Amino acid sequence: MSGPSSVAVDGAGNLYITDQYNYRVRKVNASGIITTIAGDLTAGYNGDGRLATSAWLNFPSGVAVDASGDVYIADWYNNRVRKVSAATGIITTVAGNGYGGISVDGGPATAAVLDMPVGVTIDGLGNLYIVERGNNRIRKVNTSGIISTVAGNGFYGYSGDGGPATSAHLYEPIAVAVDGAGNLYIADRSNHRIRKVTAATGIITTLAGTGTAGYNGDGGAAISTQLSNPSGVAVDGSGNVYISDKGNRLIRKVNTSGVISIVAGAGYDGDGGPALSAQLFDPAGLALDGIGNLYIADQNGYRVRKVNTSGIISTAAGTGVNGNGGYSGDGGSGISAQLNTPGSMVVAGDGNLYIADSRNNRIRKLNKSGVITTVAGTGSGGYSGDGGLAIAAQLYSPTGLAVDGTGNLYFSDVFNSRVRKVNTAGIITTVAGGSGSGPGGDGGLATAAQLYYPAGLAVDGAGNLYIADQGNYRIRKVDAATGIITTVAGTGTAGFGGDGGAATSAQLNDPADIAFDANGNLYIADQSNQRVRKINTSGVITTVAGNGNYGYSGDGGLATSAQLWSPVGVAVDVTGNLYIAERLNHRVRKVNTSNVITTAAGTTMGGFKGQGDGGLATLANLAYPSDVAVDSSGNFYIADQIAHRIRQVIVNCPSMYTVKAGSWSDASVWSCGRLPSFGDVVTLHHAVNLPTSYEGHAQRVIYSTEGSLLFNAGSLLGMTLN
């Protein structure tokens, strides 16, 4: 199971799960047997009118089931809601025409335009509710198939409490639930609130959350408590509301008196014990069955957890390992090793590549000979080991990486809310964070400061450390000489603003990564603003890529006019070219020194098995790339996260020759790490064979004394010169 994002339960106790990164919807019956009911592991759109198991889905994000057992799927990237008939297993589209954008209400739902449908629910009368994250709306499809808006005015922000829900601002809503009276509950994710729409009046109010991301308030009024990116909501038969408090890794409950409490708590641990003592990794969607058992989609924990009515937690589905991810291979070849959701990498000055092997809770090193080892982490998630050897320390989802000029390695220990350092002797220490999650500490020692989801890291020429403090919407700096932490960009409030002025007065939104160029300019992957920003050496911030609208467009034109989608990684090569890892476009884009943007790697179709190795990078499939790094030769590396691979694109390869004997069709045989094309003059230093019925290409072939070429049946070699 890979990235379960949403769950639903039918009247018979069957559990339905969106297996998001596998492009499937799975069913766990009452006997615990799991099957696939929709999707065939291929991302895309087809299959309407056929069996759902042969259809293509594209990032299914929400699931609901009606009284007849029909299953509804929020097919996010296809901008559709689809239905699987319980009687026939046939899939059809019930809302959305496949085009993202805005459409008017009052017509057939199948002709409507949806924009990022990420959640669905069904009320007792059979009405379908759709969360349109891109349009900041909740839409309703009645039993006649007519669509209307029931919450949100289409603009992001926060406003409207006490008035009509259709006039209110929402900000990236992600989930919706309905109670027996028809009242709606909305996980208003980027407003850090749960909103309620009363069925009788259509009036919207806030049920929980102050609007400031953070954690406090248990045992008190829910409207006075802080939430962090609430991503799931459910309501039981008694009217208690359950919240997936994603950023705090908690499940919280608001009772009918409006008092909030914790029902399950933070990392992965605790099956068979009280849910209050358990840990979650990345809670998302929620569902309740008819007897009150609570199901939790622990998205990047790759499990669905169940909390029974006695408060005991267990795993209902999933192993905790993502797809083909795993841990193996230390001491051997890197291409034979297993990784699990690599989050980041960095190329050190000596040419060694360091990898944040996030779900393995390790930092791995790939040396110049291609041998992989672990340099930090035992593999057990947690916090321990400061002052000792890094390989004996516990880490918890390491993500960002940086190396300074003397070879010290820094990493963001995300769920420990710390940045840690491994010195050249292999000793680990904390250099920032350690006082819990939050925004505090500027002007004091970095080790006494609070961080909140520290992500990307960078080190400048003077050895100062910069941190993308993602959950605090800031970029922070730790002075190398004093250890004092300050903010260099961001106000701490999510949003977009400030271009042309001081970076400290600008708004950022989920800054995910940072990188310096050779001139000391700092680049920021401003993820939820769909932009890359730049801070010059005078501290002035500007946008250098992205127009603020998510999507894919603009290649060949100015980068500031292009659409980006979830830029999460940035790197700058020695000549000043900027590389951007776009997670939801499955691409790496390049902005040259004339500010023209092009695609450097990846296609629209995400892929999970390294499709494309040996060919052009622009024809290869990537799967949610999470970072990009460059080496001193200008070659770049991609953290192909959900494929559990690090991919290399060799940009500068002066000559194509064999480095070992083997098959012409094996990219590792060739010096450039790719297969020869018609433009390459090829030198054979080894025995190479053309496989049966295979066609190779070259401009011409030169044979050294040891070189030879064996043709097999049906093989061909096309050359432009002989």
**Distance, CA of 680 to chain centre:** 37
**Average pLDDT, stretch 658-669?**
90
364 bridge partner residues: 355, 374
**Average pLDDT, stretch 159-185?**
96
Domain boundaries, the chain: 322-467+474-489, 492-651, 656-719
**Average pLDDT, stretch 22-41?**
92
**Average pLDDT, stretch 541-568?**
95
Q: What is the mean pLDDT of the chain?
A: 91
Dist CA 216 CA 222 (whole Å): 10
563 bridge partner residues: 553
Q: Mind listing the pLDDT tens digit for each residue in 525-534?
A: 999 899 999 9
**Average pLDDT, stretch 77-83?**
94
- 3-state SS assignment for residue 192: coil
DSSP annotation of 423 reads -
Q: Mind listing the pLDDT tens digit for each residue in 616-630?
A: 788 888 888 999 999
Order the strands of the 597-602 sheet from edge to edge. Answer: 567-572, 578-582, 587-591, 597-602
**Average pLDDT, stretch 165-173?**
95
State the pTM of this model: 0.74
Contact 450, 437 (CB under 8 A): yes
Q: Which residues contact 140 (CB under 8 A, 6 or more apart)?
A: 127, 128, 129, 130, 147, 148, 149, 150
522: its two tokens: 């700092």
Q: Which residues contact 420 (CB under 8 A, 6 or more apart)?
A: 376, 386, 395, 410, 411, 413, 428, 429, 430, 431
**Average pLDDT, stretch 239-263?**
92
**Average pLDDT, stretch 408-419?**
94
For the chain, report the end-to-end CA distance as a whole number of angstroms.
Answer: 51
pLDDT value, residue 322: 61
Dist CA 2 CA 624 (whole Å): 12
Residue 37 predicted with pLDDT over 90: yes
Nearest by Cα to 100 from 142, 129, 133: 133
Strand duo 250-254 + 241-245: pairing: antiparallel
9: its two tokens: 């339960």
pLDDT value, residue 309: 84
Dist CA 331 CA 346 (whole Å): 20
Nearest by Cα to 138 from 115, 106, 111, 110: 115
CATH of domain 492-651: 2.120.10.30
Nearest by Cα to 190 from 118, 114, 120, 253: 118
Dist CA 120 CA 137 (whole Å): 12
Dist CA 488 CA 500 (whole Å): 15
DSSP annotation of 596 reads B
Order the strands of the 362-366 sheet from edge to edge. Answer: 342-347, 353-357, 362-366, 372-376
Give the pLDDT band (50/70/90) at residue 598: very high
- Identical fold between 322-467+474-489 and 492-651: yes
49: its two tokens: 């009118």
> Which CATH topology does 322-467+474-489 take?
Neuraminidase (2.120.10)
Residue 266 predicted with pLDDT over 60: no
Q: Which residues contact 229 (CB under 8 A, 6 or more apart)?
A: 189, 190, 192, 213, 245, 246, 247
User: pLDDT above 70 covers what percent of the chain?
Assistant: 97
**Average pLDDT, stretch 258-269?**
78
Dist CA 56 CA 38 (whole Å): 8
Using CA of residue 629, residue 631, residue 634, residue 637, what is the dihedral sign?
A: negative
Task: Count Cβ atoms below 10 Å from residue 249 Cβ, excluding itself.
Answer: 23
Residue 152 predicted with pLDDT over 90: yes
Mean pLDDT is lowest, of 107-121, 272-286, 704-718, for 272-286
- 3-state SS assignment for residue 56: strand
246 bridge partner residues: none
Dist CA 80 CA 99 (whole Å): 9
Q: Mind listing the pLDDT tens digit for each residue in 187-230?
A: 999 999 999 999 999 999 999 999 988 888 788 999 999 998 89
Q: Mind listing the pLDDT tens digit for each residue in 274-327?
A: 877 777 777 888 878 888 888 888 877 778 888 888 888 888 877 666 666 788
Give the pLDDT band (50/70/90) at residue 268: low
Q: Mind listing the pLDDT tens digit for each residue in 484-531?
A: 999 999 999 888 999 999 999 999 999 999 999 999 999 999 998 999
pLDDT value, residue 623: 84
Give the pLDDT band (50/70/90) at residue 721: low
